[in-house]
Structure 1
Amino acid sequence: MNTIQQIEKTAQQLLPLYVHQDTDRPDRPLWAHPEIDQVIEALRLLSDVLFPGRHIPEPSNFKDFFIKQLKNTTELLQEEIEKALPFRWIGAAYLHDHKTPEENLYITANSIVNEFLSKIPYIREMLVEDVKAAYNGDPAALSYAEVKLAYPGLVAITSHRIAHELYNLDVPIIPRIMSEYTHSLTGIDIHPGATIGKGFFIDHGTGVVIGETCHIGDNVKLYQGVTLGAKSFPLDEHGRPIKHIQRHPTVEDNVIVYANSTILGGDTVIGAGTTVAGNVFLMESTPPKSLVTRSEAGVMIRTREIHGHGLGI
């Protein structure tokens, strides 16, 4: 068999492996899914709206700049959300929850885009508080501009706050593309489903993992290598992971978690004002204002009467 014949044979063998899994829409092309490059471009355009001057020169006329950027973003998101929407019922079929496909993808996508646009001022307000938290939480930060231009934690939380609003609007795939792209840039992995309050700061950042069902309060600070993860993955009667249940911890207001600590479990609540020292492995809740450290016998949790959150190290 020569090379041309082998190519033809291989191509023929590949065909049955590419049957589309969307049984409700057999007419839909296999490749009709969001384009990664277009989603990333929309994320970049939105980042420039939220922090003008980060990627391009700061505009002289902000209103005109915002209108131009938002129009370009809207065009990209409209098209990519239309491609993503069918995965709502594909995913539902996987979970044996048979949803009725949307009749008009354009109208549904347009409604989502308009709702998302209305959230952008709120995202900006939250990010202003995040910049302040980084500046106030890191003695090495000498200006807000330094935080805006140089801090990977701010890149990660900016992307997350965008992706989270799309996630809340039940947009499939696109929020995850945004979060994983940012993960590849920063080493910070935040699932778009995680709920994060205002004044959030990740110092250094590399290796931080925040799971889908995490609830993080206001003024929380994490250091590098922190994992907020799940204990296990409950399975349904078909042996598949059960979706949309609380699997990840709740971290209340004014908590600090130092480097390389791991906190697991959907029923784990870290009480407000708690400090978790470095290299702690924790699968139980803490009272408010606790100090959690390692000991030879395991984790030690002590109630603190001191003010502030520093460990004095």
Structure 2
Amino acid sequence: MSKLELTHQLQATVDALSEPSSMKGLCHKHRDGNPLPSSKALEAIIDLSRSILLPGYFGNSQVFFSTIKYHIGVRLEKLHALLSEQILAGLCFADEKESESTQQLNRRRAKAGIMAAKAIMRFPEIRSQLATDVEAAYKGDPAAISQGEVISCYPVIKALINYRVAHVLHQLKVPLIPRMMTELAHSETGIDIHPGARIGNYFTIDHGTGVVIGATCIIGNHVKLYQGVTLGAKSFPLDKDGNPIKGVARHPIIKDNVVIYANATILGRITIGEGCIVGANTWITKDMKPKTKKYRKEKIDNLEIEFNNGTGI
């Protein structure tokens, strides 16, 4: 192929890739002056959030009680600025109008700053919840030497920090940004928690890899999952045009003091009653009454199974 022919072929490729019909639903039209959602900025927001919520374990700096207010204050100020900008980016991203006045953008920027402040004001509550999660992980794993080891090493803590901050933003109806934050944790830890899920206190996931928790899940207190657990949906209803109907509660409700062992799959808007134990590799699509047990029977009919409240079999 000659140089001229190559040039023509590349130009034809540019023309094909620039054809509007080929980009339907695949190209975001960005307005000049509006910020774009940024994974790098959200990573910085997560790092700051972790260093504020669990100081001394995250943030790459020593923390002394004599200077703790300075440590947190400086980070909070930076966090508010970064979070405000990313919330603004989410608000702009969700609005697909082709033009916007400077006045409209300024109003949206002020709204983003207020939403960021409201989210940060929930941090004392988030820290209290995380304290219960750390305790649950420590008490639920005989291999854990200390709570410090749990915070430093266990992927569930990182995933839960992302989730609990993202859940607050989700409650504030921030578009896109909460989902991006939990997907960062998904990439980092292998734990996929939708920010819309509602998770109580003293929650833990042993090992964690491959866990999926859907958007409309409701999880009570003192719940423990093992790796590979899916709290998902069955088939979803469609509208007259064959499109999924959004906003339908379609994921499980898990009551207090439930243990779900590795690779169990629980699907649909069903209720797993208080104190239930779900064995490994089971498939659950119907309600379980409180304090009942279910495990896979194939090939183990003659094997006596004992569950010890989440500490093992």
1:97 aligned partner: none
1:72 aligned partner: 78
Cα deviation digits, residues 269-288 of structure 1 (max 9, x gap): 00011111111100000111
Q: In the aligned structure 2, how far is the partner of 1:20 from the partner of 1:294?
A: 46
Alignment CA distance shift 1:83-1:273 (3 Å): same
Q: CA deviation at 1:75?
A: 1.2
- Secondary structure at the residue paired with 2:175? coil
Q: CA deviation at 1:4?
A: 3.7
* Aligned-partner residue type, residue 59 of structure 1: V
2:57 aligned partner: 54
Aligned residue among 155, 168, 177 for 2:180: 177
Q: Which runs of 5+ in 2 are unaligned?
A: 98-103, 300-305
Q: CA deviation at 1:144?
A: 0.7
Q: CA deviation at 1:57?
A: 2.6
Report percent identity of matched pairs.
42
Q: In the aligned structure 1, how far is the partner of 2:176 from the partner of 2:271?
A: 29
Aligned residue among 271, 282, 290 for 2:292: 290
2:121 aligned partner: 118
- Secondary structure at the residue paired with 1:85? helix
Q: Is the 8 A contact 2:134 2:151 kept in 1?
A: yes
Higher mean C-alpha deviation, range 13-22 or range 42-51: 13-22
1:224 aligned partner: 227
User: Please, what TM-score do these two structures have when normalized by structure 2?
Assistant: 0.86
* Aligned-partner residue type, residue 125 of structure 1: S
Q: Is the 8 A contact 2:267 2:285 kept in 1?
A: yes
Q: Is the 8 A contact 1:20 1:30 kept in 2?
A: no
Q: Is the 8 A contact 1:234 1:241 kept in 2?
A: yes
1:95 aligned partner: none
Structure 2 residue 44 is the aligned partner of structure 1 residue 41: yes
Q: Is the 8 A contact 1:205 1:223 kept in 2?
A: yes
Q: CA deviation at 1:13?
A: 3.0
Alignment CA distance shift 1:312-1:142 (3 Å): closer
Q: Is the 8 A contact 1:102 1:108 kept in 2?
A: no
Cα deviation digits, residues 194-249 of structure 1 (max 9, x gap): 11000001001111110010000001000001000001121122322111111100
2:302 aligned partner: none
- Secondary structure at the residue paired with 1:260? coil
Cα deviation digits, residues 119-171 of structure 1 (max 9, x gap): 11110000001001111111111101000100011111111101111111111
Q: CA deviation at 1:103?
A: 7.7
Q: In the aligned structure 2, how far is the partner of 1:290 from the partner of 1:108?
A: 48
After TM superposition, the structure 1 = structure 2 runs for residues 11-26 of structure 1, keeping only pairs within 5 Å, are 11-17=14-20
2:253 aligned partner: 250
Number of residue pairs the alignment of both structures matches: 295
* Aligned-partner residue type, residue 247 of structure 1: R
Alignment CA distance shift 1:197-1:151 (3 Å): same
- Secondary structure at the residue paired with 1:232? coil
Q: In the aligned structure 1, how far is the partner of 2:34 from the partner of 2:13?
A: 20
2:146 aligned partner: 143
* Aligned-partner residue type, residue 19 of structure 2: P
Q: In the aligned structure 2, how far is the partner of 1:277 from the partner of 1:20?
A: 45
Alignment CA distance shift 1:310-1:148 (3 Å): closer
* Aligned-partner residue type, residue 162 of structure 1: V
Q: Which runs of 5+ in 1 are unaligned?
A: 92-100, 298-305
Q: Is the 8 A contact 1:59 1:65 kept in 2?
A: yes
* Aligned-partner residue type, residue 309 of structure 1: N
Cα deviation digits, residues 244-297 of structure 1 (max 9, x gap): 11110000011000111000002x100011111111100000111111122249
Q: CA deviation at 1:8?
A: 3.5
Q: In the aligned structure 1, how far is the partner of 2:258 from the partner of 2:37?
A: 37
User: Please, what TM-score do these two structures have when normalized by structure 1?
Assistant: 0.86
Cα deviation digits, residues 42-62 of structure 1 (max 9, x gap): 111101111112231332211
